[in-house]
Amino acid sequence: MAFKPKSAAETKAAELASILIRIADREGAPLQVGVDALRRASPRLTPLAIGQMFRRHRDDLEAALSERGYTLVDYADQGPGRGMEFEIGPV
Protein backbone atom coordinates (compact mmCIF):
# COMPACT_ATOMS: atom_id res chain seq x y z
CA MET A 1 0.00 0.00 0.00
CA ALA A 2 1.39 3.39 -0.98
CA PHE A 3 2.02 6.13 1.53
CA LYS A 4 -0.61 8.88 1.41
CA PRO A 5 0.41 12.09 3.14
CA LYS A 6 -2.16 13.69 5.40
CA SER A 7 -3.68 16.97 4.38
CA ALA A 8 -3.28 20.02 6.61
CA ALA A 9 -6.90 19.59 7.72
CA GLU A 10 -6.32 15.97 8.72
CA THR A 11 -3.19 16.97 10.65
CA LYS A 12 -5.06 19.70 12.54
CA ALA A 13 -7.94 17.29 13.28
CA ALA A 14 -5.46 14.80 14.74
CA GLU A 15 -3.93 17.63 16.80
CA LEU A 16 -7.37 18.66 18.08
CA ALA A 17 -8.15 15.06 19.08
CA SER A 18 -4.79 14.76 20.81
CA ILE A 19 -5.37 17.94 22.81
CA LEU A 20 -8.87 16.86 23.85
CA ILE A 21 -7.48 13.51 25.01
CA ARG A 22 -4.64 15.14 26.98
CA ILE A 23 -7.07 17.48 28.74
CA ALA A 24 -9.46 14.60 29.50
CA ASP A 25 -6.58 12.46 30.83
CA ARG A 26 -5.40 15.31 33.05
CA GLU A 27 -8.77 16.49 34.38
CA GLY A 28 -10.87 13.32 34.12
CA ALA A 29 -14.20 12.81 32.41
CA PRO A 30 -16.89 14.05 32.29
CA LEU A 31 -15.69 17.54 31.51
CA GLN A 32 -16.33 20.51 29.27
CA VAL A 33 -13.48 21.92 27.22
CA GLY A 34 -13.79 25.44 25.89
CA VAL A 35 -11.94 27.08 23.04
CA ASP A 36 -9.66 28.97 25.46
CA ALA A 37 -8.18 25.74 26.83
CA LEU A 38 -7.66 24.45 23.30
CA ARG A 39 -5.96 27.69 22.24
CA ARG A 40 -3.64 27.55 25.25
CA ALA A 41 -2.61 24.03 24.23
CA SER A 42 -2.09 24.99 20.57
CA PRO A 43 -2.27 28.57 19.31
CA ARG A 44 -2.51 27.19 15.74
CA LEU A 45 -6.05 26.04 16.48
CA THR A 46 -8.10 29.15 15.89
CA PRO A 47 -11.83 29.08 16.67
CA LEU A 48 -12.55 28.95 12.93
CA ALA A 49 -10.17 26.01 12.47
CA ILE A 50 -11.65 24.18 15.46
CA GLY A 51 -15.18 24.50 14.07
CA GLN A 52 -14.08 23.36 10.63
CA MET A 53 -12.16 20.38 12.03
CA PHE A 54 -15.19 19.34 14.02
CA ARG A 55 -17.56 19.55 11.04
CA ARG A 56 -15.21 17.88 8.54
CA HIS A 57 -13.52 15.27 10.73
CA ARG A 58 -16.03 14.49 13.47
CA ASP A 59 -15.74 10.75 12.83
CA ASP A 60 -11.95 10.89 13.26
CA LEU A 61 -12.28 12.88 16.49
CA GLU A 62 -14.83 10.46 17.91
CA ALA A 63 -12.71 7.45 16.90
CA ALA A 64 -9.59 8.89 18.58
CA LEU A 65 -11.54 9.66 21.75
CA SER A 66 -13.16 6.23 21.90
CA GLU A 67 -9.74 4.54 21.54
CA ARG A 68 -8.77 6.22 24.81
CA GLY A 69 -12.05 5.47 26.61
CA TYR A 70 -13.85 8.77 26.04
CA THR A 71 -16.87 9.81 24.07
CA LEU A 72 -17.88 13.12 22.55
CA VAL A 73 -21.14 13.87 24.32
CA ASP A 74 -21.84 17.24 22.76
CA TYR A 75 -20.34 20.13 20.84
CA ALA A 76 -21.79 23.62 21.11
CA ASP A 77 -20.84 26.55 18.92
CA GLN A 78 -22.63 29.74 19.85
CA GLY A 79 -21.07 31.73 17.03
CA PRO A 80 -18.26 34.28 16.80
CA GLY A 81 -17.39 35.83 20.12
CA ARG A 82 -19.87 33.70 22.06
CA GLY A 83 -17.74 30.61 22.49
CA MET A 84 -17.65 26.97 21.67
CA GLU A 85 -17.33 23.97 23.92
CA PHE A 86 -16.76 20.24 23.70
CA GLU A 87 -18.35 17.97 26.30
CA ILE A 88 -16.33 14.80 26.86
CA GLY A 89 -17.58 11.83 28.85
CA PRO A 90 -16.41 8.32 29.71
CA VAL A 91 -17.41 5.50 27.39
Residues 6+ apart with CB under 8 A from 18: 64
The whole-chain average pLDDT of the chain stands at 84
CA–CA separation, 53 vs 51, rounded Å? 5
More confident residue, 78 or 15: 15
- Stretch (H or E) spanning 72: strand 70-77
Q: Is the pLDDT of residue 81 over 60?
A: no
Interstrand relation of 84-90 and 70-77 (parallel, antiparallel or unpaired) = antiparallel
Predicted local distance difference test score (pLDDT) of residue 1: 59
Band of pLDDT at residue 67, cut at 50, 70 and 90: very high
Q: Which residue has the higher pLDDT, 57 or 78?
A: 57
* Range 7-29 average pLDDT: 86
> Would you place residue 80 in the very low, low, confident or very high pLDDT band (cuts 50, 70, 90)?
low
Q: Is the pTM of this model over 0.95?
A: no
